[in-house]
Amino acid sequence: MPLLRVEDLHKRYGTEEVLRGVSLTVVKGETKVVIGPSGTGKSTLLRCINRLTEPDRGRVWLGDSEVTGKGTNLNRIRSQIGFVFQDFNLFTHLTALDNVRLGPLRVKGMGKKEATERAMAELTRVGLADKASAYPAELSGGQQQRVSIARALAMDPQLILFDEPTSALDPELIGEVLGVMVKLAEEGMTMIVVTHEMGFARSVADEIVFMEHGVIVEQGPPEKMFRSPEVARTGDFLRKISELYGDAA
């Protein structure tokens, strides 16, 4: 059974149909990279998966639990689906340590000692143990995003969603965030990543999903998508995005 199943998701904002019947599956340990032009529904897809945005139609399952079911315990589901935003979304009045241990304390009900140990372990995992007492304003963008990743990891999620995690970063800081994500993929973390970083997609993704106009145009392993896509538009987009953002991992 796939870890995640998305079935016929639809979402409309006013007259604009952002998702027009998106279906996909993710198996445990897989890294799926979602690409496509701006405004094509990639971020909306991620937000519908954990119901930060309510889909108009369609169903989502995490394992054998229906995320979109009536009476679903959203706090429990969201504790199992981590979310890393492009703009970090850290609490500015809390230290890195407090940002990371807040979820284990409030949602998982851990004691302070256990939550602190968990948070420090995850800050260490992303290379920021020495920044535990720093506030977001004292951290670079790359460091803030790594704290965001540690915050997601501290909940011991089954799946992490990354919504363009490097798009708000200066070019020289992108590598430190991608490095953490590559390590997570190598460790077997299940991830869906919306990104323009084609080097990451080529080297880390198990499958690339190309979306446009609210639908999946084509999906497949990186080698096939880059070398011999079935749809001409896929190849055209990949060439343009690689030229624009580069192709280095």
Helix ranges (DSSP H) in the chain: 42-49, 74-80, 96-106, 112-125, 141-153, 171-186, 198-204, 222-227, 232-245
Q: What is the DSSP letter of 131?
A: G
Residue 112 within any structural domain of the chain: no
Structure tokens at 96: 């890195």
Report the distance separating Cα 245 and Cα 132, nearest Å.
32
Residue 197 within any structural domain of the chain: yes
User: Number of structural domains, the chain?
Assistant: 1
Confidence at 248, pLDDT banded by 50, 70, 90: very low
Does the pLDDT at position 246 exceed 70?
no
pLDDT in tens, 9-67: 999 999 999 999 999 999 999 999 999 999 999 999 999 999 999 999 999 999 999 99
pLDDT value, residue 219: 97
Q: Are 93 and 136 in contact (CB under 8 A)?
A: no
Long-range contacts formed by 234-241: CB under 8 A, 24+ apart: 234/210, 237/35, 237/36, 237/37, 237/210, 237/212, 238/35, 238/198, 238/210, 241/35, 241/196, 241/198
- ∠ CA 185-40-167, rounded to 5°: 50
pLDDT in tens, 177-233: 999 999 999 999 999 999 999 999 999 999 999 999 999 999 999 999 999 999 999
Mean pLDDT of 79-96: 96
Which helix (H) or strand (E) segment holds residue 218: the answer is strand 215-220
Check which CATH number belongs to the domain holding 204 and give it: 3.40.50.300
Residue 152 within any structural domain of the chain: no
Q: Are 130 and 151 in contact (CB under 8 A)?
A: no
Mean pLDDT of the chain: 95
pLDDT in tens, 89-139: 999 999 999 999 999 999 999 999 999 999 999 999 999 999 999 999 999
Q: Give Rg (Cα) of the chain.
A: 18
Residue 125 within any structural domain of the chain: no
Task: Name residue, tokens 């991620």.
Answer: 46
Residue 127 within any structural domain of the chain: no
Which residue range forms the structural domain that includes residue 74? 4-87+162-245
Structure tokens at 77: 């589901």
